[in-house]
Amino acid sequence: MKNVKYINEYNNDIYHVSKNKILKYSTDLNNTTVVYQNTDTDCYIYDMSICDSNLYFCTGSELTVQYSLNLTTNSVEKLVNNVDGANINNSRIYYSSNSDKGLFEYDMNTHQVIKLVESNVSSPLYHNDRLFFSNFDNCAFYQLDLTNNNALKKIVDTENGVDYFNLVSNKLIYEEKVYLLCRS
């Protein structure tokens, strides 16, 4: 199959995205079925992940929407608008938003949204009760400690804002890109 992305395993089945569809490959039955299909064929699905019995994904182009799909009932729920990359932990979705310029926490139990940081930031990375992100306004990496009253700490200055990074063995790995200077 072409264009396979965001591969996840749940209950011995393989879930993946192909363009505007979420598909499930049943290892027991050796067949593939469509679990969800966006009616707009030009509106791709991305950032799919599975947590407990729910599948989370984003869809959209300019203004993206975060959804939850219950894998037991196949019910789909719209959670939050204007999402640019998300991490899920303990029934909370941490995400950035280009249109609303900030870092946000969405509580899936109360459906409340809290703005944690007011600035143009990258998609957050959750690790050990901390959020790591690049701040495009200040050209630096930051850490937000979720266990210490959301204490914000600058980690390192960067030449430009950074979109793509990861933590490997407690080291921040990133590559600076000149084209990020155009980011609004």
Could you read off the pLDDT of 33-50 as tens digits, one per residue? Answer: 999 998 877 788 888 888
Q: CA–CA separation, 32 vs 17, rounded Å? A: 12
Is the pLDDT at 24 greater than 90, yes or no?
Answer: yes
Q: CA–CA separation, 175 vs 153, rounded Å? A: 21
182: three-class secondary structure by DSSP? helix
Q: Do the beta carbons of residue 95 and residue 117 sit within 8 Å?
A: no
pLDDT for 179 equals 29
At 150, give phi and psi (nearest 5°): 55, 40
Q: How far is CA 56 from CA 51, 59, 65, 80, 99, in A?
A: 8, 10, 11, 11, 21
Is the pLDDT at 177 greater than 60, yes or no?
Answer: no
Q: Do the beta carbons of residue 44 and residue 58 sit within 8 Å?
A: no
pLDDT per position as a tens digit, 81-127: 888 878 888 889 999 987 788 999 999 899 999 999 999 998 898 98
Question: Within 10 A of 184 (CB to CB), how many other CB atoms are there?
Answer: 7
Question: Within 10 A of 88 (CB to CB), how many other CB atoms are there?
Answer: 20
At 179, give phi and psi (nearest 5°): -65, -15
Q: Do the beta carbons of residue 124 and residue 132 sit within 8 Å?
A: yes
